[in-house]
Amino acid sequence: MRGRSLSALMAVLIVALATVVVAARAQPASPAPSAPAPTKPQMRENCPGLVAGGPPRAVPAALRLAAINAGEVGIRYIGHATFVIQSPQGVTIATDYNDFVRPREAPDIATMNHAHSTHYTDHPDPAIRSVLRGWGPSPDQPARHDLQVRDVRVRNVPTNIRTWNGGTERHGNSIFIFEVSGLCIAHLGHLHHTLTQQQLDEIGRVDVVMAPVDGSVTLDLAGMVEVLQALQAPLIIPMHYFGMASLRRFLDALGERSYDVETGERSSIVLSKASLPAKPKVLALPGRAF
């Protein structure tokens, strides 16, 4: 009798395990997580991680190369989704490089995304040494970059995008991660969905997040807040907003969640590990907002 009970119990367990495996295989490629993402210590340590010590300090600067010292990184907001990032050794990066909003000088590295023509170009400046497209040759072949140029490392984590007809283009967007001066900076690109745990693990710890905050064309406001709370970066820089109304909605939403909110007077800042805010902060830089 005891043997039959044990056999019945084993059968139930086998059926339950099979059900779980089938359900896991049926999940979409990039589902929105159904539960809050785990806290940072459970994520992979791909990036240096945050070392928030002293008082919050983001120093405005003209962002000339002479102003970028060892242990610092310069960030200038050009507009829309384009930033210029500069390293102490003079490496310059332009994010979501395109034909409409671009820096005057050709960067050493240009990253792009595929959602709209304001995030890429088919005719980049030939002076750019490394052009990193955030999409691969086909939906089944995502872009994979891991580039080291002097004191800068650039890598990417692919995500999906919506198409104009309501479908999905797999791996049409990339979150680019820039590692420089001990800081890890993530540019979310044209993000259209919340992140899976696998994607969060690939991104790892980040110090600065450049986040699209329009709340409609990219990810909706609630979804973007979820992504930022999962990443837990000490500094968030908004981008991709259509006028002050959409930016204000985002700033108010983060302010209600106990983030410090600041609107910068200049489009450039110089950051270091020591200058990261001790409390999570949103810093809005002036730039071309279309």
Q: Is the pLDDT of residue 5 over 70?
A: no
Answer whether 194's CB lies under 8 Å from 226's CB. Answer: yes
Burial of 59 (0-12, 13-18, 19+ CB in 10 A): middle
Residue 220 lies in a domain: yes
User: pLDDT tens digits for 198-232?
Assistant: 999 999 999 999 999 999 999 999 999 999 999 99
Residue located via tokens 């949103």: 282
Q: Span 70-88, mean pLDDT?
A: 97
CA dihedral 37, 225, 187, 95 (to 10 degrees): 160
Q: What is the reported pLDDT for 62?
A: 35
Around Cβ 27, how many Cβ atoms within 10 Å? 9
Note whether 224 and 195 are within 8 A (CB): no
Is 24 contained in some domain?
A: no
What is the rounded distance in angstroms from the CA atom of residue 168 to the CA atom of residue 155? 23
Q: Give pLDDT, residue 165.
A: 83
Is the residue at 84 inside a domain? yes
Domain that holds residue 128: 38-284
Q: Which residue has the tokens 């973007």?
A: 224
Q: Is residue 15 part of a domain?
A: no
Q: Is the pTM of this model over 0.85?
A: no
Q: In what order do the strands lie in the sheet with 146-149?
A: 146-149, 152-162, 168-180, 183-187, 208-212, 235-239, 281-284, 260-263
Q: pLDDT band for position 288 (50/70/90)?
A: low
Amino acid code (one letter) for 21: V
Confidence of residue 112 (pLDDT cuts 50, 70, 90): very high
Q: Is residue 266 part of a domain?
A: yes
Using CA atoms in the order 216, 219, 220, 224, what is the torsion angle rounded to 10 degrees?
Answer: -140
Residue 148 lies in a domain: yes
Domains of the chain: total: 1
Tokens of 128: 């750019």
Q: Is residue 5 part of a domain?
A: no
> What string of DSSP letters covers 245-284?
HHHHHHHHHHHTTT-EEEE-SSSEEEEEGGGS-SS-EEEE
- pLDDT grade for 135, boundaries at 50, 70 and 90: very high
Give me the CATH number covering residue 176: 3.60.15.10
Q: Establish if 188 belongs to a structural domain.
A: yes
